[in-house]
Amino acid sequence: MTSLQTWPLSLLLVIAVHCSNSLEDNKIPSLCTGSPGIPGSPGLHGSPGQPGRDGRDGRDAQPGEKGERGERGEPGQSGVRGLTGDRGDPGEKGERGTPGECAVAPKSAFSAKLSEARTTPLAVGDAVRFDKVILNEQGDYNPETGRFTCRVPGVYYFAVHATVYRSSLQFDLIKNGNTVASYFQIFGNWSKPASLSGGTLVHLIPGDQVWVQMALGEYTGFYSSPKTDSTFTGFLVYSDWKNSAVFA
């Protein structure tokens, strides 16, 4: 091949080298400009990036308005009882109180005897009137009727001592018309008077009455003289009243 034949080939090589050195970022210079290519397919999603750094603290906001009061909750369960604490020191002595009223226990007592004028025979059912008062401070016994009337409720003891002479004797201790106890002594033609005694406890309420009553018409041997007596006695053993008024 002659030099004239190789010249065109050499010229093409120079142009090709010049064009290849001018390529930058897949761009073709104006000498090699072509038509725009078809858009490529979307690329794949990239890998997640590194977490960002924490941001700065925000500024304090203004306090909010006070909310409405909530409903009261249910009481909780009782806790376990704690240990007993040490005994405290004695307190100071208090001031002396004002003097109180002096309480007096309820009282009721009497004793009476037959006078000589009452030794005549008595009828059955009659109350024996022990007319000569020995003691009757509260006035609960009436010598005119021979009856004791209860004023203070409680338990009482009643006792009767009879001198028996010239006749047998039978009498009853009566409460409100009902016999509580009966006593009997037969006369044995003794030359001297004999005695008949008895007593019992009775529960009474205010208004109750107690008396001695003849039981048989032929047994009326109550007797009294300057040297021997027939007596009827009664007194309160204890009262039923609680927090009662003061009685003298």
First to last CA, the chain: 174
Burial class (CB in 10 A: 0-12, 13-18, 19+), 223: buried
Measured distance CA(234)–CA(230) in Å, rounded: 14
Does residue 200 have a pLDDT over 70? yes
pLDDT tens track for 203-244: 999 999 999 998 877 777 788 888 889 999 999 999 987 655
Does residue 120 have a pLDDT over 70? no
Residue 86 or 244, more confident: 86
Provide the 10 A C-beta neighbour count for residue 154. 17
What angle (nearest 5°) sits at the alpha carbon of residue 202, between those of residues 201 and 208?
Answer: 155
- The domains located in the chain, with CATH, are 109-239 (2.60.120.40)
The two beta strands, 132-135 and 178-185, are: unpaired
Which residue from 153, 125, 126, 138 is spatially nearest to 237, judged by alpha carbons? Answer: 153
Q: Residues 140-166: what's their mean pLDDT?
A: 94
Burial class (CB in 10 A: 0-12, 13-18, 19+), 6: exposed
Q: Residues 181-187: what's their mean pLDDT?
A: 89
Measured distance CA(19)–CA(144) in Å, rounded: 168
CB 171 within 8 A of CB 215: yes
Does residue 154 have a pLDDT over 80? yes
Measured distance CA(175)–CA(18) in Å, rounded: 160
pLDDT at residue 11 in the model: 62
Does residue 70 have a pLDDT over 60? yes
pLDDT at residue 23 in the model: 46
Residue 100 or 202, more confident: 202
Beta bridge mates, 154: 204, 239
Residue 212 token pair: 């001695």
Backbone angles phi, psi at 13, to 5 degrees: -65, -40
Q: Residues 180-208: what's their mean pLDDT?
A: 90
pLDDT tens track for 28-48: 455 556 677 787 788 787 788
Which residue from 167, 141, 150 is spatially nearest to 233, judged by alpha carbons? Answer: 141
